[in-house]
Amino acid sequence: MMCRMLHRDKLTAWLEELSRSGRRLIAPQREGNDAVFKPVETVDDITLDYVNTRWPVKEWLFPRSEPLLRYRYVGSSVELEQPDLGLEPQVIFGVRPCDAAGLAILDQVFITDYEDEFYTRRRSVTTVVGLSCTEPAESCFCTAVGLSPTSSEGSDMLLTPMGDDGYLVETLTAKGKQLLWEYGHYFGAGECGSKDLATKAIEAKMSRGATLAQGIGYSEELFEHPIWAELARKCVGCGICAYVCPTCHCFDIMDDADAWGGIRCRNWDSCAFSLFTQHASGHNPRPEQDGRYRQRVLHKFSYFPQNYGRVMCVGCGRCVTDCPVNLDIYAVAQAVLHIHDELHIDGKSHIAGEELHSEPHAREHNSLTSSRAAS
């Protein structure tokens, strides 16, 4: 890692030059009271005045709706059209550390585990410039899931505000180094350790201090526990929590056709929806909201840790503030963890791998039997 300083006055000039470099610059801009990532037309539109952006940054790599192919009937044959991925090099500026860590999680799913062509190609032309937080929101809990308001995971370059001096610039990857090399004249000497004090000051303002980074161990007793119906009772089954989540990555592939052709599209999907697990036969292994909500919590804090060694939550707090019924995943995860600990007082590590009875297909089996038991 290399560290530099970027003087406060030079930020705009740097972004200005960056926006004319042939790369597409994406940065937070005002939309009503919100800040929203949008391609920059003029750097004056960029805002730095936000705790976090309205939506997570993931849609610039994993769009809400992505055409996989289009087809048209031409006479008696079919003409296939490859979608335009719009693969111009892009720099996303102003990504908060939680959202950047969310990208690192999506990388695990879409690149490491299985190479998703669409995500991987977009990711390869994207440079992420993170911007550390200065003021946490009441709903923020990145420290509870092993991150911090200045953590650099997922960013290629991270800017941390250092008072009037400007920004401490950390370059973390080859893409970040490239950016530094190209615009070296904007950056002065910087000291890598200097952000520690700033980090501690922000962390001190955060009120959500539980430790959830170890995840929640899986067990059948926990899976079948009545807590889920109790927790999910107030869930109204909208998709807000999944769609504002920097890490949620489930999608559905659907065809939309008319007389002249059609489009095959993959769209974000949410485990809160009844259609999410609906089978063609009409059977639904998660017939009610408790099973759906359990999936959300255990996927993030139990299954994902088993498969990828970390929890699938970055503590951005969007689902907490946006939930219309204040179903707070931070509070829920603590409650479930507490129940797990009561059920299993042997003190085993929460990150599974050690708990062998919880393979994914065994879980599917469980959900089937539980739905039968319920019906």
Partner 1 sequence: MPDESWQPQIVAFVCQWCTYAGADLAGTSRMKYAPNVRIVKLPCSGRIDPLFLVKAFEQGADGVLVSGCHPGNCHYVSGNLLARRRFTVFRELLSFLGLERERLQFSWVSAAEAVKWTEVVDAVTEEIRRLGPRKLGWGETLPSRGSRFQVASSKVEPETRNPKPKTLQAAEESIRRIARQLLEANAVDVVVGYGNGTLSGVTTPVFVTQPDGVEQLVWNERCLNNLSVYLTRDLVKRMGRVGIVAKGCDAKALVALLQETQINRDQLTIIGVPCEGMMQNGRLAVKCVTCDVHTPPIYDHLVKVGVGIEILEIGESGEADPRDAEIAALEALTHQERWAYWQEQFSRCIRCYACRAVCPLCYCDTCIVEQTQPQWIPPAFDAKGNLSWNIVRALHLAGRCIGCDECTRACPANIRLDLINRKLALLISDEYGYRSGYDAGVAPPLTTFRPEDRAEFIR
Q: Which residues bind partner 1 (CB under 8 A)?
A: 31-32, 34, 41, 54-55, 64-65, 67, 138-139, 229-230, 232-234, 236-240, 242-244, 252, 254-256, 258-259, 263, 265, 267-268, 270, 273-275, 288-290, 320-322, 324-328, 330-331
Nearest approach, Cβ of 262 to partner 1 (angstroms)? 11
**Do residues 94 and 28 lie in contact, with contact meaning Cβ atoms separated by under 8 Å?**
yes
Please, what is the minimum distance in Å from the beta carbon of residue 116 to partner 1? 18
In sequence order, the 6+-apart residues with CB closer than 8 A to the CB of 213 are: 144, 145, 146, 310, 311
Taking the least distance from each CB to partner 1, the nearer of 3 and 27 is 27
What is the nearest approach in angstroms of partner 1 to the Cβ of residue 242?
A: 8
How many angstroms separate the CA atoms of 155 and 347, rounded? 35
CB of 211 to partner 1, least distance (A): 17
Q: SS3 of 364, please?
A: helix
* Minimum CB distance to partner 1 smaller for 60 or for 186: 60
**CB 44 to partner 1: min, Å:** 11
Q: Which is nearer to partner 1, 78 or 254 (CB)?
A: 254
- Please report, for residues 15, 17, 52, 162, 226, the alpha-carbon distance to residue 56 in angstroms, rounded to integers and kept in the order given: 21, 25, 8, 24, 33
CB closer to partner 1 out of 139 and 219: 139
Smaller CB distance to partner 1: residue 104 or 227?
227
Q: Nearest to residue 220, comparing CAs of 211, 228, 212? A: 228
CB of residue 161 to partner 1, shortest distance in Å: 25
Number of neighbouring beta carbons within 10 Å of residue 80? 9
Nearer to partner 1 by Cβ, of 198 and 336: the residue is: 336
Nearest by Cα to 367 from 258, 305, 292: 292
CA within 13 Å, CB half, 198: 21
